[in-house]
Amino acid sequence: MAASQALSVLQATDEFEEILGKLHARNLPEFFELIEERIERERGANGCGAKPRGAEANLGEDESTADITLHSIASEVRNHPCLPPDAVLKSERIRHPTVGEFAALDPVTVVSVDKFLYEDDEAIDEMCDEGMLSRNYCLECGSHRSAPLNFISHSASSQQLKFIFQKALPDLNGKTVVDIGSRLGPVLYGAYFYSGASRIVGIEINPELCAIQEDMVKKFSLRDRIQVINADVCTQATLLQEADVVVMHNVFEFFAPSETQISIWKFLRETLKKKGCHLITLPSLAKSMETLKLSMDLTSWVKQCPLEHITRWIREDEAREEVQQICRYEIL
Ligand SMILES: C[S@@+](CC[C@H](N)C(=O)[O-])C[C@H]1O[C@@H](n2cnc3c(N)ncnc32)[C@H](O)[C@@H]1O
């Protein structure tokens, strides 16, 4: 192939993704093995030790300046005077879902532990020692029988942010990222420090949460690229149509009744039409629709871009499980 026709790394990655999308899931392991062998041969032939993208995706290692700054922001949010120890504001009125996987759990056994603010087990142990949190609930009051509580995080963790912006998405230089439901702002800070996106916008319906994000933007001088809009997402059609990346992390499940969720998804389907725009969702679109019993033809809207070829390189089980929940789509 002539040099002018050669694919860029991004084009090659896209073509590779397309091939993965066409393969049946049961054939993926065999395909990956063949690819691995091929890469090894290539390395041997070129005498080159370079590892493929994602090979070093041990997300917990090699703390960079970006990681350290993100930890500083988390610590600053944790100590924010308006935020209670469980990191849930009274005005949030989080509702236990009545449909989907969480509906089956007794609400008293579900506790919010913010993964952006309390990243590791040590931080959670500290909270337990200080009596701010318990890991177990009593099965029979007064007895010694107990069972582990179900922890749920309403924020993305640093590992998930690093994965989204450094591994899952292409180069975002000059692009616009929109986080629907930005809450305490982790996605905005992640996009700022782990990507080159030039415009990063959080849409958040709760004004108190917006005030906390604004404080961080000011304190860490992030205003050159981050903007926080206090609004219902359904009033932000123009912004959504300009976005190159739209992040939706569990936005509605704990925050709106089913009928509202259905009308928001219909609005998003009508509004998000920019070809090539990336959607990062957690959980998958199919799961959100299934939970709401909403029948929407996803195949005419988006194509899913598999991420297994990246996640499978992540060595630590816990980090891998966390990022495996992340889905990436491209609008058709
Ligand atoms: C699970 S949090 C997501 C947090 C953040 N994106 C992250 O990943 O760390 C969902 C947020 O969506 C907000 N939200 C819910 N419905 C909304 C709506 N219609 N418009 C804007 N924000 C909304 C909630 O107030 C909540 O803060």
Residue 71 has pLDDT above 80, yes or no: yes
Atom of ligand 1 nearest to the CA of 264: 19
pLDDT digits 0-9 by tens, 156-175: 999 999 999 999 999 999 99
In a domain, 146, yes or no: yes
In a domain, 21, yes or no: yes
Does residue 25 sit in the same domain as residue 142? no
For ligand 1, say whether the CB of 206 is within 6 Å of any of its atoms: yes
What's the number of domains the chain is made of? 3
The pLDDT score that the predictor gives to residue 140 is: 64
Q: Tell the residue nearest (CA) to atom 18 of ligand 1.
A: 232
The pLDDT score that the predictor gives to residue 44 is: 62
Does residue 120 sit in the same domain as residue 241? no
Q: Tell the residue nearest (CA) to atom 14 of ligand 1.
A: 181
In a domain, 58, yes or no: no
In a domain, 61, yes or no: no
Does residue 30 sit in the same domain as residue 90? no
For ligand 1, say whether the CB of 253 is within 6 Å of any of its atoms: no
117 or 151, greater pLDDT: 117
In a domain, 171, yes or no: yes
Q: Final residue of a domain: which of 152, 184, 203?
A: 152
Q: Report d(CA 242, CA 222) in Å as an integer.
A: 21
pLDDT category of residue 250 using cuts at 50, 70 and 90: confident
- Nearest Cα to Cα of residue 269 among 246, 299, 301: 301
Does residue 87 sit in the same domain as residue 181? no
Q: Report d(CA 274, CA 331) in Å as an integer.
A: 7
Does residue 38 sit in the same domain as residue 83? no
Q: What is the CATH number of the domain that holds 188?
A: 3.40.50.150
Q: How many angstroms from the chain centroid is the CA of residue 21?
A: 21
For ligand 1, say whether the CB of 186 is within 6 Å of any of its atoms: yes
In a domain, 60, yes or no: no
Mean pLDDT computed over 225-231: 98
For ligand 1, say whether the CB of 213 is within 6 Å of any of its atoms: no
In a domain, 186, yes or no: yes
Q: Report d(CA 155, CA 117) in Å as an integer.
A: 8
Question: 301 alpha carbon to ligand 1 midpoint, in Å?
Answer: 23
Does residue 208 sit in the same domain as residue 278? yes
In a domain, 53, yes or no: no
Counting ligand 1 atoms within 8 A of each CB, the residue from 93, 152, 183 with the most, and so the one to mutate, is: 183
pLDDT digits 0-9 by tens, 290-303: 989 999 999 999 99
Q: Tell the residue nearest (CA) to atom 27 of ligand 1.
A: 183
Question: 93 alpha carbon to ligand 1 midpoint, in Å?
Answer: 12
Q: Report d(CA 199, CA 137) in Å as an integer.
A: 44
Sheet holding 245-249, edge to edge: 226-230, 199-204, 176-180, 245-249, 278-282, 327-331, 302-305
Q: Tell the residue nearest (CA) to atom 1 of ligand 1.
A: 154
Q: pLDDT over 70 for what percent of the chain?
A: 84
The pLDDT score that the predictor gives to residue 86 is: 80
Does residue 171 sit in the same domain as residue 293? yes
Domain that holds residue 253: 158-331
For ligand 1, say whether the CB of 156 is within 6 Å of any of its atoms: yes
269 or 7, greater pLDDT: 269
